[in-house]
Amino acid sequence: MGLNEAWAIFHDYYGKKQLTELDMDAFIEASEFLIFHEDLEDANRQAVLYNLASFYYDCEIYQLAEKYFLMLAEEYDYDGLTSGMAYTKLAKLYYYGHAGAPDYSKANEYIHRALDHDPDSLQAKVLALAIAKYDYGSLTEDEYFDAVFDLGNEVLDRNVPGVWSIPVPEIELLICEISLTNNMVDDVHDLLKDAKRYLYQRLLSSKDPDDLTLMKKIIDLDPIETPFTELTVYDLLWMLEDGDVEFCYNQKRYLLTASERALGKEPTIYFENKYYRSPEEFLRKAEIDGQKLNTIADHIDGTNWSEKPE
C-alpha cells in the first residue's frame, strides 16, 4: 500500500453511506499505515489518530481507543481542531470504566485538558461536573449544587431545537441526582421524562455507545415506575434483567428474550428468530416489518391494549 492509496481509502470511508466489514478493515489498515508512515506530517498523523481512536471508541473496542487517544495526548500533546473532543472522549473512557474500573482521577485530568483547549464546550463542562460529584475538590456541597444548576441554565440557553448533541439529558440527569437528595420526587420524574425524550431523538442517529448507558442511568434513576403505556424499547431492554418481555406494536405481540446462549460477557438477546450480541447491536439492527426498532422506540408502548399483555 502506498501513501496516496492509503489516503484515498481513509477519505472514501467517510463518504460511504453503507459500510461493510471489508470497508472497516480497509479503513483500519489504511489508518495504521498512515500513522506509522515516516513521511506523514505530524498534523495529518494526529488527525488520523483521532479518527481511528474515535472509530474504536464507537465500536466499543476500548483498549485500542485508549491506546490511540493516549498517543495523541501523551506523545503529541494534541492541539488540533478536535483536541477538545479527543480529551473529552478520553475522560469519558475513564469515567465510564471502559478501560477497567472507573478512574475518576484520570477522567478529571483529561476533562480539564479538554477545557483548556475548548473552555466553552458544554459537553466538557457537564462531564467535568459529573466527575466532580465524586470529589467536590475545592467546592462545598452547596457550591457544587449551585454550579450544576447554573450550568443547567447555560445549557438550556444554548439549546437549539433539532440539534440533539447538546448535553441536555446529561445536565438534567445531574440536576435530578441533586434533587433526589432533597426528596423532590415529582420534579425529578418530569425532568427525567424530558431527558429521556431528548435522548431518544439523539439515539436515532448517534453512534456513541455512552448514549445508551446514559439512557439506562435515566431509566434507573426515575423514582416513579413508568406506566406500561409509556414504555419504550429502551425500558424493555432493562426489563429483560427480570425475565422475558412481551410487548405490542400495531396490534401484534412480540417476545424479547435474554438467551442463555452467551456470547462474550453479556447474554445474547433473541428476537424474531435472530440473536443479537448486545443491547447496542439489538437496537442498531433489530427490525419489525422492515423498520429499525430504534426508529419506532417510543411507539412500542402497549397503547393499543387495555392492559399489559399476559
* CA-closest candidate to residue 301, choices 237, 230, 217, 250: 230
More confidently predicted of 111 and 222: 111
Predicted confidence (pLDDT) at residue 265 exceeds the cutoff of 60: no
Quick one: how far is CA 260 from the chain centroid? 26
Give the HSE-up count for residue 138: Cα atoms under 13 Å, Cβ half-sphere: 0
| pLDDT score at 308 | 42
Q: Where are the alpha helices (DSSP H) in 222-268?
A: 233-239
Whole-number mean pLDDT of the chain? Answer: 83
Greatest mean pLDDT among 85-99, 134-148, 293-307: 85-99
Cα(185)–Cα(168) distance, integer angstroms: 19
- Residue found under cell 403505556: 229
Q: For 134-140, what is the mean pLDDT? A: 73
| pLDDT score at 153 | 93
Cα(110)–Cα(127) distance, integer angstroms: 11
| pLDDT score at 307 | 41
How would residue 84 be classed by pLDDT, with cut points 50, 70 and 90? Answer: confident
DSSP string, 214-233: HHHHHHHH-SSPPPGGG--H
Host H or E run for residue 47: helix 42-58
Lowest model confidence (mean pLDDT) among 68-72, 94-98, 219-223, 247-251: 247-251
Instruction: Work out the end-to-end distance of the chain between its first and last CA atoms, rounded to an integer number of angstroms.
Output: 60
Greatest mean pLDDT among 60-64, 177-181, 230-234: 60-64
| pLDDT score at 299 | 66
Q: For 127-131, what is the mean pLDDT? A: 93
How would residue 259 be classed by pLDDT, with cut points 50, 70 and 90? Answer: low
Predicted confidence (pLDDT) at residue 160 exceeds the cutoff of 60: yes
How would residue 267 be classed by pLDDT, with cut points 50, 70 and 90? Answer: low
| pLDDT score at 26 | 93
Predicted confidence (pLDDT) at residue 284 exceeds the cutoff of 90: no
Cα(194)–Cα(17) distance, integer angstroms: 31
Cα(301)–Cα(310) distance, integer angstroms: 15
- Predicted confidence (pLDDT) per residue in 70-81, tens digit: 998 887 776 666
| pLDDT score at 122 | 93
- Predicted confidence (pLDDT) per residue in 33-68, tens digit: 999 888 888 888 889 999 999 999 988 899 999 999
Regarding pTM above 0.95, the answer is: no
Task: Cell numbers for 200, please give them.
Answer: 431518544
| pLDDT score at 277 | 78
